[in-house]
C-alpha cells in the first residue's frame, strides 16, 4: 500500500454557529496530484487552514507525514510549501528581499531555485512588492511556496490572476516537481483546471465531501454544455436525443447538457444550420446538479 502524505479523520470546524466543514475524511497518497474542488464558501480554505494549524479543528484530527497537524505543526511546516488564496506581503520590500527572507526560514540554500523559478515565471526580482499586479504577486507566492523544494505543496486557488501563458508554465513546473516526488494538494473552484493536472479529486459542497473520484472517471461521466443559435426556429422535439438533459429553448436559441457520442450531436447541430454554437465543459455547479441531485 502506498504511503499517505495527508490523512484527514472526521475533521469538523465551526465558526460559532456557522458551518465551516463537517466530518471530513479522506487521504492523499504520496506522489499524487490531488484536486480539492468546490464552489465558493464550500470549505476548501477552512480545510487547508486547519491542516496547516492556522486554526484548530472543533473536532476530529488530521496528520501530514504521519504527524499530527496541530501538535507537530512546526516539524511538518519545513517540508510544506503553501500558497494561500490571498497573499499579503511587506509592500516596501523588493521581490528578492521578500523571497530571501522567506528562504531564511529553511536550512537550505534556495538562491539558485529562486533565480530559476523567477526566470521561468518572468518575475522581476528587483521590483517592489507594492508595484506588482495581482498576477505578479501570485507569482511571488508560487516561488515562495516552491523555493525550498518541499515534499508537499498545498495550493489554495493558485491560478487566480495568472494569464493563460503563465498558467501553462506554472502547470509545467508543478508536473516537474511531481515527477521528482512532490505530492500536490490543489484546491480550486475551476473543474477544468483540476481536470488538466490532477490524478484524483475530492468534491466539497456545503462543508461536506460529496464525492471522491479518479479524474479519468469524472471525465468519462462528463457532460458537455451546448448553446446554439439556429438560422430558423428550432422544430419541436428536434433535440429529443438520448443523453440530453436540462433542455431549454427560446425560438431559434437552445441550450442543454449532453452526454454521449460527440459525433451524433454534432451531426444534429450541423443539420440545423446554426449561426453560432458553443460547446463547453459544464460549470462545476452544473456537474454537481447532475451527479448529486
Ligand atoms: N473567519 C470566519 N468566520 C466565520 N465564518 C467563516 C470564516 N471563514 C470561513 N467562514 C465560513 O465557512 C464556510 C467555508 O468557507 P471557506 O472560506 O473555507 O470556503 P472556500 O471553499 O475556501 O471558499 P472560497 O473559494 O470562497 O474561498 C463559509 O460559509 C464561510 O462563510
Model ipTM over 0.85: yes
Q: Which of 173, 189, 220 is the last residue of a domain?
A: 220
* Distance separating alpha carbons of residues 150 and 171, to the nearest angstrom: 16
* Distance separating alpha carbons of residues 158 and 83, to the nearest angstrom: 7
Please work out whether the CB of residue 41 comes within 6 Å of at least one atom of ligand 1.
yes
Instruction: Give alpha helix (H) positions in the chain.
Output: 44-51, 73-77, 95-103, 111-121, 134-146, 164-179, 191-197, 215-220, 262-272, 284-292
Q: What is the pLDDT of residue 285?
A: 57
Q: Are residues 120 and 246 in the same domain?
A: no
How far, in Å, is the centroid of ligand 1 from the Cα of 208? 13
pLDDT per residue as tens digits for the range 231-263? 999 999 999 989 998 899 999 999 999 988 889
If phi over 0 gives left and psi between -120 and 50 gives alpha, with beta otherwise, what is residue 271? Answer: alpha
pLDDT band at 52 (very low <50, low <70, confident <90, very high): very high
Q: Are residues 213 and 250 in the same domain?
A: no
Q: What is the count of structural domains for the chain?
A: 2
Please work out whether the CB of residue 45 comes within 6 Å of at least one atom of ligand 1.
yes
Q: Are residues 12 and 61 in the same domain?
A: yes
pLDDT band at 293 (very low <50, low <70, confident <90, very high): very low
User: For residue 100, how many other CB atoms are within 10 A of its CB?
Assistant: 16
Please work out whether the CB of residue 13 comes within 6 Å of at least one atom of ligand 1.
no
Q: What CATH number has the domain bearing residue 288? A: 3.30.70
Q: Which of 220, 238, 269 is the last residue of a domain?
A: 220
pLDDT band at 289 (very low <50, low <70, confident <90, very high): low
Range of the domain at 43: 4-220
Q: Are residues 157 and 210 in the same domain?
A: yes
Q: Are residues 264 and 183 in the same domain?
A: no
Q: What angle do CA 164, 165, 169 make, to 5 degrees?
A: 115
Q: Which of 168, 190, 220 is the last residue of a domain?
A: 220
pLDDT at 213 over 80: no
Cell numbers 531564511: residue:
104
Measuring from atom 1 of ligand 1, which residue has the nearest CA?
15
Q: What mean pLDDT comes out for the span 146-171?
A: 94
Q: Are residues 22 and 74 in the same domain?
A: yes
Residue 239's nearest CA partner among 220, 264, 263 is: 264
Q: Are residues 16 and 102 in the same domain?
A: yes
Q: Which of 13, 46, 156 to mutate to test ligand 1, by most ligand atoms within 8 A of the CB atom?
A: 46
Q: What is the pLDDT of residue 126?
A: 96
Q: Identify the bridge partners of residue 83 per DSSP, sorted by sequence position.
A: 155
DSSP string, 210-266: EEEEEHHHHHHT--EEEEEEESSPPPTTTT--TTEEEEEEETTEEEEEE-S-HHHHH
Q: Are residues 162 and 81 in the same domain?
A: yes
Measuring from atom 10 of ligand 1, which residue has the nearest CA?
20
Q: What is the pLDDT of residue 1?
A: 55
Q: Are residues 79 and 138 in the same domain?
A: yes
pLDDT band at 221 (very low <50, low <70, confident <90, very high): low
Q: What is the pLDDT of residue 279?
A: 92
* Cβ proximity of 62 and 69 under 8 Å: yes
Q: What CATH number has the domain bearing residue 28? A: 3.40.50.300
Please work out whether the CB of residue 44 comes within 6 Å of at least one atom of ligand 1.
yes
For strand 152-156 and strand 183-188, is the pairing parallel, antiparallel, or unpaired? parallel
Q: Are residues 90 and 23 in the same domain?
A: yes
How far, in Å, is the centroid of ligand 1 from the Cα of 249? 37
- Judge if pTM exceeds 0.90: no
Q: Are residues 207 and 228 in the same domain?
A: no
Q: What is the pLDDT of residue 156?
A: 94
pLDDT at 222 over 90: no
How far, in Å, is the centroid of ligand 1 from the Cα of 14? 10
Amino acid at each position: 500500500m502506498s504511503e499517505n502524505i495527508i490523512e484527514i479523520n472526521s475533521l469538523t470546524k465551526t465558526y460559532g454557529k456557522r458551518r465551516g466543514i463537517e466530518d471530513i475524511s479522506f487521504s492523499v497518497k504520496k506522489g499524487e496530484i490531488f484536486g480539492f474542488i468546490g464552489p465558493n464558501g464550500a470549505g476548501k480554505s477552512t480545510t487547508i487552514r486547519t491542516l496547516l494549524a492556522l486554526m484548530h479543528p472543533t473536532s476530529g484530527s488530521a496528520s501530514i507525514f504521519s504527524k499530527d497537524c496541530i501538535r507537530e505543526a512546526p516539524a511538518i511546516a519545513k517540508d510544506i510549501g503553501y500558497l494561500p488564496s490571498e497573499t499579503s506581503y511587506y509592500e516596501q520590500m523588493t521581490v528578492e528581499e521578500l523571497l530571501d527572507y522567506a528562504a531564511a526560514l529553511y536550512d537550505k540554500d534556495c538562491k539558485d531555485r529562486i533565480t530559476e523559478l523567477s526566470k521561468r515565471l518572468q518575475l522581476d526580482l528587483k521590483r517592489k512588492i507594492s508595484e506588482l499586479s495581482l498576477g505578479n504577486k501570485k507569482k511571488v507566492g508560487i516561488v515562495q511556496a516552491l523555493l525550498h523544494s518541499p515534499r508537499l505543496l498545498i495550493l489554495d486557488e493558485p491560478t487566480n490572476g495568472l494569464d493563460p501563458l503563465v498558467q501553462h508554465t506554472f502547470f509545467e513546473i508543478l508536473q516537474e516537481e511531481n515527477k521528482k516526488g512532490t505530492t500536490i494538494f490543489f484546491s480550486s473552484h475551476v473543474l477544468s483546471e483540476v481536470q488538466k493536472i490532477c490524478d484524483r479529486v475530492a468534491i466539497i459542497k456545503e462543508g461536506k465531501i460529496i464525492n471522491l473520484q479518479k479524474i479519468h472517471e469524472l471525465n468519462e461521466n462528463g457532460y458537455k454544455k451546448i448553446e446554439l443559435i439556429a438560422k430558423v426556429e428550432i422544430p419541436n422535439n428536434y433535440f429529443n436525443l438520448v443523453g440530453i438533459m436540462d433542455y431549454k429553448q427560446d425560438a431559434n436559441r437552445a441550450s442543454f447538457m449532453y452526454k454521449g457520442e460527440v459525433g451524433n450531436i454534432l451531426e444534429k447541430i450541423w443539420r440545423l444550420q446554426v449561426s453560432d454554437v458553443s460547446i463547453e465543459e459544464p460549470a462545476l455547479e452544473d456537474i454537481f446538479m447532475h451527479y448529486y441531485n
